[in-house]
Structure 1
Amino acid sequence: MALSRRAFTLGAVATAGLTATGLAINPQAASAATYTAYLKTYFTESPNQSAANYGLHLAVSRDGLNWSPLNQNNPVVTPTAGDLGLRDPFIFRKQDGTFVVVATDLYGLNFGRNSQYLHVYDSTNLTSFTGYRRIQMHTYNNVHTWAPTVFWDAGRGQYAIVYSANTTTDLFLVNYTSDFRTVSAPQTYFSPGFPVLDADIHVDGGVTYMYYKNLANGNLYGARSNTGAPNSFTTYTSGLRQGNAIEGAHLLKRNDGSGWWLWGDSFSPVNNDFYLWGTNNIGGNSWSVLNQRDYTPPLNSKHGSIVGITEAEYNAVVTRWGLPNWVRLKSSNFPDYFVRHLNGAIRIDPYPFDPHRDQMWRMVPGLADSAGVSFESVNVPGSFLRHNGYVARLAANDNSATFRADATFYRTAGLADSAWSSFRSYNFPTYYLRHAGYVLRIDPLSSSSSASDRQDATFRVTS
């Protein structure tokens, strides 16, 4: 189907009171700031879809590896047009230092639904998302518009919106824009002779880097171009893959300037959500797999994006949306396992699972000693993790002295890793909470215990 070289217009009217004036572009606005933290966008799914939510979710991180969901892992805004849901939200800091979010117009798992549009939001400082609209990217019938990414094309003096489409094959299209309200006609951006999906693009040192999934073999690859122009990329890395299946490549330059991370998302909600690689040289072919001990994605998060933020932006977004009022406990030696309750038992199981709230705990002052801690179940309020016959159980608080003592622990430096935590029993002061055969119990442990026993008793308190 031939497309005219006209500019496409909005599929929805912008929020009242907002104008479509041009950007006062300041190329130094974004680069002059010092980024001290990161913000992530995503949507949520879980194995049985009980945690599925297709609104815009946010999380923050100081180190870019371990994440805290904002707004109690609820969406901060949800589309009101098109499919009434979004996937693959991509956040980009524009030349004037403000933000834009573009996202796939799709609710749920109905991948046969093909929209010509993308959802778009504006944000000045991440405390609100306004100007909601949809922009029409093409006029093809039965062609999807998935997983957008954005970069600034300095040669054109415009933003490029690149997305997955399936015209003659699975390829990437690009539309150019100055305001994220009107866009140029689409062009083929990357079609290497095999089907591709999920581009992410960053410009660094005058080179444009693109990471993508090769659908023919299921691996992620990196390509680069000296111009960033359509059809100018050459693949330069070997294939990357972790787990049974991977997609959603997301490339991120570290705030400290010491290297890059590459995230990959499993495409199924029943698999582990994210995998991670790191490199000190984006131009090389030397990606290293990071251990899952080193990173913790937001709860139930799926395909999104990450941007560096300033200290002021971090403080503003946390103040506006709030950090979680619950914690999760991640196992040291089974780093994809989390402490949860199941039919009254306390155990560790591989994430993700449902009900997902079984792993969420309110870590409150100790019932027997406020200097310690107790763990109250989020989805069974009034019930606490306690030991009984040395085995951990979830039980309703009967307010007896025995119950309060059994449910109280002292948080100490982790027996296997001082940056993590261990939990010493209040009423058995040489005993620690640990897993054995995936079930939690208390056993006598110390710094001289075996390495395996100390790892069993070490957890990361995360969210």
Structure 2
Amino acid sequence: MRRVATIAVLVVAASLLVATPATAAPAVQYTNSLVAQRADPHIVKHTDGYYYMTATAPEYDRVVLRRATTLQGLATASESVIWRRHTSGEMAAHIWAPEIHYINGRWYIYFAAGRSDDVWAIRMYVLENASANPLTGSWTERGRIVTPLNTFSLDATTFVHNGTRYLAWAQNDPAVGSGTNLYLAPMSNPWTISGTPARISVPTYSWETVGHRVNEGAAVIQRNGRVFMAFSASATDANYCIGLLTASATSNLMNPSSWTKSPQPVFRSNDATSQYGPGHNSFTVSEDGQSDILVYHDRSYRNINGDPLNDPNRRTRVQKLYWNADGTPNFGIPVADGITPVRLRSHNFADRYIRHWDYRARVEANVTNLADSQFRIVTGLNGGGSVSLESTNFPGYYLRHRNFEMWVERNDGTATFRADASFQRRAGLADSAGVSFESVNFPGRYIRHSSNLLYVQAVSTATDRADATYHLE
């Protein structure tokens, strides 16, 4: 298919991962959405083997926390209220965007809150817990994070780079205008910044200024000699999206000129997959520690009645973050609800993946339009224990053979299509750790590549078997 409407490349976000070369990682599979009515999700994997998740509750009145040994387990994990809003004064309204961090042997939660007498006087606050398990023990209020500007501020996050801990946040500066900008400052302790903050991003592009002028929800990941800072932009409806700032790891992060903003959003609404307003992301890692996982919220519908902030149905979602050959992150598109997709890498051409282009299926390297090379392995349309491979950016379209050529086409409901689009999943013919796909209606013929195009063909030689073997990522 043509490269319509999918977004590709780059992005990212918050995690404690340290820079390493971009490498392939085994496939992971989750089912979306993860948690209903939880926005601004923040998930960390701790050294105790648990994932900890906090997020904004739609009542805006409390900080919640849950844990599980798997990401999918967070969906059904019990949730605890670890702190409630004050009844008057500070921290009494709009309890927003909590993040949980483990720093120097203690747990910290950063969140934003308004006042009872002015719910829009939103500032940043910190809670501390010395217990090994943050669901136990007591949380101490460390108070407000003081910034030189005593103005609307929110979405504090923290990360360490070259031995220095930084705080990044969003704040209004009346001298700049309405809305929020992104700021950065070193920290003297987990609730105090030091020095003069640097303003590193101002919303100027059209996609940053729909409904509101917004840069917020910063999240950082460091890889491949660069520091990537994802952020969210525009109003919190279907226009909400993710942008990206990039700095060299050897640069002075406090110098605004060290940061380059990508000219287009790197993650945005997608009509084909029915995902709208994706944003306020964080990052964690897969259970085996080998894959980066994007955590974010969105809605399953475009149109909202009234103020989007009063719509409770932003929900937490997860999907794998991929890396381009040049070391930049690539999150593709917000995938459809249900099981997450995979990529299929050629066994004998390790830089090539199955992808579609003008409906024709092929193997190709450097597929930065990521969703072209992602497929959901679903129950076979023909049944009988078979599987079918559904396109990620064109739901309802499947890999099928026609005249023994492989195409990506819409399911027309016929028995012929169901059979042509169904395969028996086998251990890899050239490597049992991989996978091969045998045609249901032409047993003995497998999906294989030849001159970069895909066919269903009989296999007999070692080369044939290698051509018909793929590895899931």
TM-score (norm. length: structure 1): 0.52
The alpha carbon displacement at 1:161 in A equals 0.7
Distance of aligned partners of 1:37 and 1:363 in 2 relative to their CA distance in 1, 3 Å threshold: farther
Q: What is the DSSP-based 3-state SS (H/G/I as helix, E as strand, rest coil) of the residue aligned with 1:172?
A: strand
Show structure 1 runs of 5+ residues with no match: 1-29, 39-60, 79-84, 107-112, 339-356, 377-381, 384-395, 405-409, 414-420, 425-462
Kept after mapping to 1: 8 A contact 2:200/2:259 = no
Kept after mapping to 1: 8 A contact 2:156/2:169 = yes
Kept after mapping to 2: 8 A contact 1:199/1:212 = yes
1:159 corresponds in structure 2 to: 107
1:122 corresponds in structure 2 to: 67
1:279 corresponds in structure 2 to: 247
Q: What is the DSSP-based 3-state SS (H/G/I as helix, E as strand, rest coil) of the residue aligned with 1:190?
A: coil
For 2:33, the aligned partner's letter is N
Distance of aligned partners of 1:137 and 1:208 in 2 relative to their CA distance in 1, 3 Å threshold: farther
The alpha carbon displacement at 1:360 in A equals 2.3
Q: Of residues 347, 354, 363 in structure 1, which corresponds to 2:398?
A: 363
Greater RCO (CA < 8 Å, at least 6 residues apart)? 2
For 2:284, the aligned partner's letter is V
Kept after mapping to 2: 8 A contact 1:197/1:215 = no
1:3 corresponds in structure 2 to: none
> Are 1:221 and 2:198 an aligned pair?
no
Q: Of residues 251, 265, 268 in structure 1, which corresponds to 2:219?
A: 251
For 2:168, the aligned partner's letter is Y
1:139-158 equivalence runs, <5 A: 139-141=86-88, 142-154=92-104, 157-158=105-106
Kept after mapping to 2: 8 A contact 1:206/1:226 = no
1:202 corresponds in structure 2 to: 159
For 1:207, the aligned partner's letter is T
Kept after mapping to 2: 8 A contact 1:37/1:309 = no
For 2:341, the aligned partner's letter is P
> Are 1:184 and 2:146 an aligned pair?
no
The alpha carbon displacement at 1:288 in A equals 1.2
* Structure 2 Cα separation of the partners of residues 312 and 262 of structure 1: 21
The alpha carbon displacement at 1:365 in A equals 1.9
For 1:304, the aligned partner's letter is N
* Structure 2 Cα separation of the partners of residues 164 and 265 of structure 1: 16
The alpha carbon displacement at 1:104 in A equals 0.9
Q: What is the DSSP-based 3-state SS (H/G/I as helix, E as strand, rest coil) of the residue aligned with 2:217?
A: strand
TM-score (norm. length: structure 2): 0.51
Kept after mapping to 1: 8 A contact 2:242/2:267 = no
1:16-415 equivalence runs, <5 A: 71-75=30-34, 77-78=35-36, 85-96=37-48, 98-106=50-58, 113-115=59-61, 117-129=62-74, 130-141=77-88, 142-154=92-104, 157-167=105-115, 169-178=121-130, 179-181=133-135, 182-185=138-141, 187-191=143-147, 192-216=149-173, 217-233=178-194, 234-241=196-203, 242=205, 243-245=207-209, 246-256=214-224, 258-266=225-233, 267-271=235-239, 273-280=241-248, 281=251, 282-285=253-256, 286-290=258-262, 292=264, 300=275, 301-309=278-286, 311-312=288-289, 314=291, 322-324=339-341, 359-369=394-404, 371-376=405-410, 382-383=411-412
The alpha carbon displacement at 1:337 in A equals 12
**Cα deviation 1:221-248 (Å, max 9, x = unaligned):** 2322242343434311343334233344
Kept after mapping to 1: 8 A contact 2:52/2:65 = yes
The alpha carbon displacement at 1:302 in A equals 2.9
* Structure 1 Cα separation of the partners of residues 52 and 371 of structure 2: 35
* Structure 2 Cα separation of the partners of residues 205 and 90 of structure 1: 24
Tell me the matched-pair count: 307
RMSD: 5.2
Q: What is the DSSP-based 3-state SS (H/G/I as helix, E as strand, rest coil) of the residue aligned with 2:140?
A: coil
Q: What is the DSSP-based 3-state SS (H/G/I as helix, E as strand, rest coil) of the residue aligned with 1:128?
A: helix
* Structure 2 Cα separation of the partners of residues 251 and 170 of structure 1: 20
For 2:107, the aligned partner's letter is Y
The alpha carbon displacement at 1:36 in A equals 8.2
* Structure 2 Cα separation of the partners of residues 36 and 311 of structure 1: 18
Distance of aligned partners of 1:211 and 1:62 in 2 relative to their CA distance in 1, 3 Å threshold: farther
Distance of aligned partners of 1:123 and 1:165 in 2 relative to their CA distance in 1, 3 Å threshold: same
Distance of aligned partners of 1:271 and 1:73 in 2 relative to their CA distance in 1, 3 Å threshold: same
**Cα deviation 1:63-122 (Å, max 9, x = unaligned):** 9xxxx99545332x44xxxxxx2111101233545321111111xxxxxx431x122111
Show structure 2 runs of 5+ residues with no match: 1-14, 294-317, 321-337, 344-353, 359-365, 373-391, 422-446, 455-472
Kept after mapping to 2: 8 A contact 1:265/1:275 = yes
The alpha carbon displacement at 1:364 in A equals 1.4
Distance of aligned partners of 1:373 and 1:337 in 2 relative to their CA distance in 1, 3 Å threshold: closer
Q: What is the DSSP-based 3-state SS (H/G/I as helix, E as strand, rest coil) of the residue aligned with 1:222?
A: strand
Distance of aligned partners of 1:293 and 1:176 in 2 relative to their CA distance in 1, 3 Å threshold: closer
Distance of aligned partners of 1:69 and 1:275 in 2 relative to their CA distance in 1, 3 Å threshold: farther
* Structure 1 Cα separation of the partners of residues 49 and 21 of structure 2: 15
Distance of aligned partners of 1:137 and 1:35 in 2 relative to their CA distance in 1, 3 Å threshold: farther
The alpha carbon displacement at 1:135 in A equals 1.5
Distance of aligned partners of 1:235 and 1:185 in 2 relative to their CA distance in 1, 3 Å threshold: same
* Structure 2 Cα separation of the partners of residues 98 and 139 of structure 1: 30
Identity of aligned residues (%): 13
Kept after mapping to 1: 8 A contact 2:241/2:265 = no
